[in-house]
């Protein structure tokens, strides 16, 4: 496979990953973070109804966009893969579609993936929540990625497949949830008063942090096991193309993990206690002193300072999460390139 072909396959696979993570992560976020968080919150009924309607519209938009992206990448991937497998020009491909669909492992997995995608789209469009079915189908949808990747080359029921699947599930829930935190939460918070918005964000971030912690706890050992089973060693990280790309991917993963830890152990406690963060301490002291010097003491001063601090913590949180989200997109790009790169092997007969 020549470089431009690898580039095309990798970009299609990257868009495919992005679509999958938005769809699956959105479903996980909705059922495991948002809905339980909203139910347990102390919001008034009118506020909850209003948020529920906004979320419903948003969820439908997310499902529609990710569904269209996935359908498009699924079709393009099928054509590209058919061309690669058969070595035939584009116009001759329709004649072998049947053979590829029904006589190859890739074809069967592709059809199952298509059916699962349509099912997820239809269920996601329903107003009635179908938590168990949606989560179950999402898990199976992730499995189709594993079964059409490197992991399935030995067998469909190997430790490679299990490790890769768990890695993918954890990444989807974490990064997909991250995208929801970045895109959905600001839309909801803007309609609430400062105090309610702060309480809701703190609650959602608390639940999401727990989920993200569990995901990281799964994805690291599953990822390590997965690459070890593919023959990756410390030496191969510098000596093989697969190892080098994996090393670059890991370099981008580290700051993503660091920012995740920052949200969990720095932003969240500060949101809970409304404590000013590092520079905020200096700023708070400055505001208090300037108030005293300029005789700006007034009954509402402390409240105004509190609102200012909350909004500064929130701004920091959304900045961190934006950077984390962009880096995560980079990680997905490297993961996509890795799917087109052979893992280290014992060469030659």
Partner 1 sequence: MKGVFLVMSTVLTGLGIFSFGLISEAQAHVFPVHSEPKVGQVVNTSPFLVRIWFDGKLEPAFSTIEVHDLKGARVDKGDGRVGPEDRTLLKISLPSLPSGIYRVFWSVVSQDGHLTEGDFSFTIRVSQ
Contacts with partner 1, residue ranges (CB under 8 A):
1-3, 6-7, 10, 81, 84-87, 99-100, 103-106, 148-150, 152-155, 241, 244-245, 248, 252, 318-319, 322-323, 326-327, 329-330, 333-334, 337, 340-342, 345-349
What per-residue string of b and e applies to 101-140 under the rule 16 or more CB within 10 Å gives b?
Answer: eeeeebbbbbebbbebbeebbebbeeeeeeeeebbebbbe
Of 68 and 99, the one with the shorter C-beta distance to partner 1 is: 99
Of 174 and 242, the one with the shorter C-beta distance to partner 1 is: 242
Taking the complex as a whole, the smallest distance from the CB of residue 2 to partner 1 amounts, in Å, to 6
Taking the complex as a whole, the smallest distance from the CB of residue 35 to partner 1 amounts, in Å, to 28
Query: Which DSSP state fits 231?
Result: T
Q: Is the dihedral of CA 171, 13, 112, 221 positive or negative?
A: negative
- Helix locations, 87-193, DSSP H: 94-103, 105-125, 131-147, 159-189
Q: Nearest-CA neighbor of 167 among 331, 42, 349, 39?
A: 331
Of 57 and 345, the one with the shorter C-beta distance to partner 1 is: 345
First-to-final CA distance of the chain: 21
Taking the complex as a whole, the smallest distance from the CB of residue 290 to partner 1 amounts, in Å, to 28
Of 69 and 329, the one with the shorter C-beta distance to partner 1 is: 329
Of 55 and 146, the one with the shorter C-beta distance to partner 1 is: 146
* Angle, helix 301-339 to helix 194-229, in steps of 10 degrees: 20
Taking the complex as a whole, the smallest distance from the CB of residue 204 to partner 1 amounts, in Å, to 20
Taking the complex as a whole, the smallest distance from the CB of residue 89 to partner 1 amounts, in Å, to 15
């Amino acid at each position: 496979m020549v470089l431009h072909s690898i580039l095309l396959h990798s970009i299609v696979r990257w868009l495919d990953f992005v679509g999958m993570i938005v769809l699956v992560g959105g479903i996980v976020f909705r059922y495991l973070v948002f809905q339980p968080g909203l139910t347990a919150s102390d919001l008034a009924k009118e506020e909850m109804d209003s948020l529920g309607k906004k979320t419903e519209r948003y969820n439908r938009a997310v499902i529609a966009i990710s569904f269209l992206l996935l359908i498009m990448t699924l079709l393009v991937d099928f054509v590209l893969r058919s061309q690669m497998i058969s070595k035939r020009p584009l116009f001759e491909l329709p004649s072998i579609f049947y053979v590829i669909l029904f006589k190859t492992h890739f074809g069967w997995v592709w059809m199952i993936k298509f059916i699962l995608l349509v099912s997820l789209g239809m269920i996601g469009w329903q107003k009635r929540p179908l938590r168990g079915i949606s989560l179950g189908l999402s898990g199976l949808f992730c499995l189709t990625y594993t079964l059409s990747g490197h992991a399935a080359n030995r067998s469909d029921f190997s430790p490679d497949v299990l490790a890769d699947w768990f890695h993918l599930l954890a990444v989807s829930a974490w990064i997909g949830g991250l995208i929801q935190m970045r895109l959905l939460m600001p839309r909801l918070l803007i309609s609430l008063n400062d105090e309610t918005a702060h309480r809701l964000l703190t609650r959602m971030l608390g639940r999401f942090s727990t989920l993200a912690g569990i995901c990281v706890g799964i994805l690291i050992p599953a990822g390590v096991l997965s690459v070890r089973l593919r023959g990756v060693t410390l030496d191969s990280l510098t000596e093989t193309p697969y190892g080098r790309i994996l090393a670059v991917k890991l370099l981008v993963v580290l700051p993503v993990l660091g920012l995740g830890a920052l949200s969990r152990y720095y932003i969240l406690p500060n949101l809970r206690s409304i404590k000013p963060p590092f520079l905020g301490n200096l700023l708070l002291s400055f505001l208090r002193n300037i108030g005293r010097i300029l005789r700006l003491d007034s009954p509402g001063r402390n409240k105004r300072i509190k609102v200012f601090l909350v909004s500064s913590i929130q701004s920091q949180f959304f900045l961190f999460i934006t950077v984390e989200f962009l880096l995560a997109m980079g990680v997905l790009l490297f993961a996509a390139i890795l799917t087109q790169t052979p893992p280290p092997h014992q060469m030659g007969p």
